[in-house]
Amino acid sequence: MRTISMHWVWIALLTGFLLSATASNGSSSELASDGPTKTLIQRASLIITMDPALGTGPLGSLADVDLLMEKDTILAIGKGLIAPDATVLNANGKILLPGFVDVHNHLYQSVFRGGCAHDDVLGWLQKCNLPIRLALNETDIYAAVRLSTLDLITTGVTTVVDWAHMFPQNLAKANIRALEESGLRFVFAYSQPKEGLDTLRAFKAELIDPNPLAGFQLTGGTRKKSAEHLADMVNLAHQLHVKVNVHLLEHIDQRQEDPVGVLARSGALALGPNLLLNHAIHLTDEDITLLAKSGAHIAHAPLSNMRLASGIIRLPELHKHGIKVGLGLDGGTNDTSDVFANMRTAVGLQRATTLHAGTFPTVSEVLRMATLGGAEVLGLEHQIGSLAPGKKADVIILDPSAINFAPQWDWLSQIVFNGQPANVEYVFVNGRLLKEKGRLIGVAEKDVIAAAEQAADRIRRSLDPGRKPGKE
Ligand SMILES: [Zn+2]
């Protein structure tokens, strides 16, 4: 592997000079009084920048280099960086990459992990999702989202889209509170029934806009009866400059609803890249051509699609048509929030379908989908998704010296085929350390689990009053 270009050596040397100058003029003591604001990750054996201009190969890989971050931003990547006032983290033998971007999830659904295990998506929606969703109170939703966010951090997710239906606002607020407390970067996808549409503006202004880690999207449906509401969401999305986020053709029977026609008639297709489509499995050739022309983006959730017997997305065709696709864990597979399993499933489903090992996505392509590709789908690629000076410090460090991962042969492939959440040793979001030496920071895990158990128990009993507490 190539080490580093002269361009980057020059930037590193210049940065080192500037940092030394800063230290010598006395401002380092100022920084010290506020605690360390710089972190120098030294001698990483591999940094996967996701930017081909910064290193070798399609993912811009660099060997034996340092990464320096200050507060929420990456300052420099290069050899021999000098920052006397930085906290130093030795990454020799480790792999650095951008935090994973989960473009589709429903975090409250961790409260019924393992539920409706013998149903397809329609049965799961009818028998589990709907009755449980209606039974949730504020305490339940807070407990479930809190649990899910910890699970996401554990697997190296740093940004998540949480699709929150039309929850009453008190539930939505409890949901957001748990997201905020997690330290994750998040996009809250939300809507209200027709009579509550006006409140969405204030909701965004009060609960989302003040938080630099939060984003907002509007949700809608793609059934014929949802068309009018979806058109309202499209109008509001134009006013608020946000995306519209819908589920599309997750089950084959949904073709009867002509959902692509609903998207066209409601004006959603005209949103172009501001339209995000979840699943998009049962597309015809004509649908793919139409979506490609529109510029809409897609969220692919392969583990969920397998678990719920939904089908296999036409990923190579979408790629051929230039449609941007990111990866989502989805709530249906909140049985496990494992980005590594999700990536290898995305690869494996297409290989098994096409009988071709070189089909899209390759190992490099799926790693890009899980990071920079996801950021592009959300329109956040100027901030996150790659490791480069000026980008937000969403960084994860993998330890490949584990029994499921070693020995080193081809680390890029091993991340996809061998990786497990336990291999994620450090997680930084916006420069803040959330996982250190394999442990979540500042979290009483037992309490979070106990609260989720209580919520699940309460809901099960409310749905089946004859059930004894805590018993199957
Ligand atoms: Zn979904």
Chain segment 374-399, per-residue pLDDT in tens: 999 999 999 999 999 999 999 999 99
pLDDT score for 469: 56
Question: What's the mean per-residue pLDDT of the chain?
Answer: 92
Q: Do 6-99+392-440 and 100-377 have matching folds?
A: no
Distance 250 CA to ligand 1 centre (A): 9
Side-chain-side CA neighbours of 237 within 13 Å: the count stands at: 30
Distance 197 CA to ligand 1 centre (A): 22
Distance 41 CA to ligand 1 centre (A): 36
Distance 331 CA to ligand 1 centre (A): 6
pLDDT digits (tens, 9 = 90+) for 75-128: 999 999 999 999 999 999 999 999 999 999 999 999 999 999 999 999 999 999
Percent of the chain with pLDDT over 70: 91
- Spatial CA neighbour of 249 closest among 317, 299, 192, 185: 299
Name, in order, each residue with C-beta under 8 angstroms of 401's C-beta and a sequence gap of 6 or more: 93
Distance 294 CA to ligand 1 centre (A): 22
Distance CA 45, CA 63 (A): 5
pLDDT score for 161: 98
Distance CA 269, CA 340 (A): 32
Distance 177 CA to ligand 1 centre (A): 21
Percent of the chain with pLDDT over 90: 88
pLDDT score for 5: 44
Distance 247 CA to ligand 1 centre (A): 6
| Token representation of residue 310 | 């939904």
Distance 44 CA to ligand 1 centre (A): 36
Superfamily of domain 6-99+392-440: Urease, subunit C, domain 1 (2.30.40.10)
Confidence of residue 33 (pLDDT cuts 50, 70, 90): very low
Q: Where are the domains of the chain?
A: 6-99+392-440, 100-377
pLDDT digits (tens, 9 = 90+) for 150-203: 999 999 999 999 999 999 999 999 999 999 999 999 999 999 999 888 899 999
Distance 454 CA to ligand 1 centre (A): 25
Distance 278 CA to ligand 1 centre (A): 6
Distance 103 CA to ligand 1 centre (A): 10
| Token representation of residue 354 | 């096409």
State the CB neighbour count (10 A cutoff) for residue 122: 16
Asked if the 100-377 domain carries CATH number 3.20.20.140, the reply is: yes
26-35, 230-239, 318-327: which range is least confident on average?
26-35
**Residue with the two structure tokens 């270009």:** 5
Distance 328 CA to ligand 1 centre (A): 9
Do 156 and 98 touch, CB atoms closer than 8 A? no
pLDDT score for 36: 64
pLDDT score for 468: 63
Greater model confidence, 140 or 23: 140
Record the pTM.
Answer: 0.92
Distance CA 392, CA 335 (A): 30
| pLDDT at 365 exceeding the cut of 70 | yes
Do 97 and 396 touch, CB atoms closer than 8 A? yes
Distance 181 CA to ligand 1 centre (A): 23
Distance 104 CA to ligand 1 centre (A): 6
pLDDT digits (tens, 9 = 90+) for 304-339: 999 999 999 999 999 999 999 999 999 877 788 999
| Partners of 101 in beta bridges | 159
Distance 265 CA to ligand 1 centre (A): 22
Name, in order, each residue with C-beta under 8 angstroms of 261's C-beta and a sequence gap of 6 or more: none
